[in-house]
Structure formats: C-alpha cells, structure tokens
Amino acid sequence: MNKKTLTSRERVLRAFNHVEPDRVPINYMDNPGIRLRLKRHLGLADDDEAGLFRWLETDFCGTWPPYTGPKLHPDIPDRQVDGLWGMRKKWIANESGGYWDYCDYPLMDASEEVFDNWPMPSPDDFDYSSVAETCRRYPDTAIHYGDPGLGDIMNSSGMLMGVEQAMMEIIDPDSPLQRFIDRRLEVRLGMVERVLEAARGRIDFLWLGEDLGSQRGPLISMETYRQFIKPRQKRFTDLAKAWNIPVMIHCCGSSSWAFDEFLDIGITIVDTLQPEAANMAPAYLKSRWGDRLAFHGCISTAGPVAYGSVEDVRRNMRETMEIMKPGGGYCMSPTHHLQDNSPPENVVAMYEAAREYGQYHH
C-alpha cells in the first residue's frame, strides 16, 4: 500500500506494531477553557467540534456507552457529583479560569456496611448500541474503549476516601476497600465485555489507567504493585487478549520502573510519559523499551506548550520526534489534558510541528 493513502486506523495500528507509517499518529486531549480559546483562535465557531478535530488531524476516537439506569447518587448543592461512582468535586478558581477538584471524600472512615452498600451501576444499565454507531460513523479512525480511569485502583479510591487513607488501605487485605475495589472492577470488566461484543471486532485497543509514580519516583513498592495491582490489571489484559486487541495504559509520573511488569501481563503501549519525571526521558525510554513497547504522549502539558514561546514548542516537538520516531512505535499526544494556561498559539505550533516533523520519508 502507498504510505500516502493510510487511514488513521492503519497509521495507528502500524505505529503500535513498530512499523513506520506515513506520519506519526496524533491525539489530542484538553480542558474546556483551552478548547474554546483554540477554536476562536482558529476562527471556528464555538460549537464546531468536527472542524477543530479536522484541523488537528487527529487519528483517534473513543467510544463511551451512555448510562440508562436509575439515579445512584443524589445531587449536592455547589458540588459536581459523579453519577456512576459518587465522587464529589468543587469548583476551584484560578487565574486561567478554574477546574473541578475532588472533595468531601464520602468513603473516608466509612463503615464496612457503607462500603459494601455503596451504589454502583450494573453493566446492563448502559446503551451499547452507541458503540456500534460510533464504529459505523468512523470506519477509518483508530477507536478505543476506556481512558485513564478504566481499571484504576489507587486514583478512584483516593477520590472517594482521600489519598492518604486509600494508600494505607490498598495494602490492607482486611480492609473493606478490597471488596469495594473488586466490586467496582467487576462492573468495569462487564462493560468492557459488552462494548467489545457490540463493536464486533472494531475496537482497536483498550485504554487502562493507574498512576504509579510521583515526579521523583514510585508511589508504591514493587511488592505492592505485584500483590494488589498487577493481578487486577491482568483480568483486563486477558480479556483484551481474548479479543486480540492491544492494551495501552495511562501511567503518570516516574513509572518506568513498572514497564517490564506491564509487558509481563500483555500491556504493549504506555501513555503519558512525562519527560520531566525521573527516569522518563524520551531517549531513555526509547533505547530501553522501544523495541517492545509503543509510546503515546511525551509532550508535557507543564513544559514549553504552557510556559515557552512558539519557537520553544517547535524545538521541543522536533527533538521529541527525532528520538521517538525511528522504527515506528510512537504516537504524539500531550501527556495530560492541555491546561487552560496554555496559549492557543503554542497549541497551534504543537500540532503544526507534529505534522511537519512527524513525517516519515521513505
């Protein structure tokens, strides 16, 4: 096939399989504030989502079946309540606008009874016909199910009971949190199964998440990962393997200490790749794992795109591409959602540079 005729789906799958495509695949994640400013900067209407993604030339699309079941968690004044799991957020204003941050922690110091009876959805309470519809609408796009929250344990527990308590109880086999985690994962696994069935082989990869590092090093020990996290992740990777699709994991901070463990359970793509964190430099990752892992991310949302000039952004993009491109195995993406403090002209420079420096010349 002529490389110039690759679809987004072909481009992404080649990159995942360490085959050089026509250009590096591109993904995009953002906060609402920067999305609106970027549209206006590009002369697009505020509601022109399709126009924005055409300009960005993204290669990825997610599918999320809408919830159709009963109301599980009551509304609370001045709070944003997660309808499925009950996390609570409050608005925190800052100079760029603001964001919703976790608060209240309804399961902090909760009794076993509260844990065991905490309302959760059933995998049956979702409209999976939307999955088939997404697959029909985007035949040439790389479609994923999941996101950085699928299959996660530490993050979602911390959102409900506070990080400190969650970190202590994750390693306590007698804590009711253990049953709660497994009950939640059963729901998520059931949803994955139904999505894959509804898509009839059209989901291209499963996206999991679990943050394992701070900026300086691991958040947990290898022993804790192997005992409490890895076996639970393996249930998802086994399901993906049964459907013959690859698995990508979102993993913040200094997380390369776990990469060989990921490979052991069949995770072959790693997302985030914060270059400023310890042992996460692009050259180190590419030289050590580049023949076994594909990479998605690397462009820091706390780096030049937020704080540098247009020239800084272009230089960072060129350097990253030169390191990560060879032999395929790289998809360009911001490490996290682009934040509201990123100037639109820097985001434009980032995506123009991705297209320019991401070309393969065969």
For the entire predicted model, the pTM comes to: 0.97
Which position has the token pair 């997380």? Answer: 255
Per-residue pLDDT, averaged over 288-299, amounts to 98
Residue of 342, 290, 303 whose CA lies nearest to 15:
290
Residue of 76, 65, 69 whose CA lies nearest to 104:
76
Assess contact for 88 and 79: CB atoms under 8 A.
Answer: yes
> What is d(CA 318, CA 325) in angstroms, rounded to the nearest whole number?
10
> What is d(CA 320, CA 332) in angstroms, rounded to the nearest whole number?
9
* Chain mean position to CA 98: 21
Assess contact for 144 and 202: CB atoms under 8 A.
Answer: no
Assess contact for 24 and 34: CB atoms under 8 A.
Answer: no
Q: What are residue 4's phi and psi, to 5 degrees? A: -70, -15
Tally Cβ neighbours within 10 Å of residue 361.
6
Q: What does the H/E/C string look like for the chain? A: CCHHHCCHHHHHHHHHCCCCCCECCECCCECHHHHHHHHHHCCCCCCCHHHHHHHHCCCEEEECCCECCCCCCCCCCCCEECCCCCCEEEEEEECCEEEEEEECCCCCCCCHHHHHHCCCCCCCCECCHHHHHHHHHCCCCEEEEECCCCCCCHHHHHHHHCHHHHHHHCCCCCCHHHHHHHHHHHHHHHHHHHHHHHHCCCCCEEEEECCCECCCCECCCHHHHHHHHHHHHHHHHHHHHHCCCCEEEEECCCCHHHHHHHHHCCCCEEEECCCCCCCCCHHHHHHHHCCCCEEEEEECCCCHHHHCCHHHHHHHHHHHHHHHCCCCCEEEEECCCECCCCCHHHHHHHHHHHHHHCECCC
At 182-211, the pLDDT tens digits run 999 999 999 999 999 999 999 999 999 999
Per-residue pLDDT, averaged over 6-12, amounts to 98
Model pLDDT, residue 4: 65
At 235-286, the pLDDT tens digits run 999 999 999 999 999 999 999 999 999 999 999 999 999 999 999 999 999 9
> What is d(CA 160, CA 149) in angstroms, rounded to the nearest whole number?
14
Tokens for 353?
Answer: 């540079």
Name all domains of the chain by residue range, CATH numbers in brackets: 3-70+107-357 (3.20.20.210)
**What number of CA atoms fall less than 13 Å from residue 291's CA on the CB side?**
2
Do strands 247-251 and 205-209 pair parallel, antiparallel, or not at all (unpaired)? parallel
Q: Over the chain, what is the mean pLDDT?
A: 96
At 33-55, the pLDDT tens digits run 999 999 999 999 999 999 999 99
> What is d(CA 120, CA 132) in angstroms, rounded to the nearest whole number?
25
> What is d(CA 161, CA 166) in angstroms, rounded to the nearest whole number?
6
Q: Predicted confidence band at 2 (pLDDT cuts at 50, 70, 90)? A: very low
Per-residue pLDDT, averaged over 67-74, amounts to 98
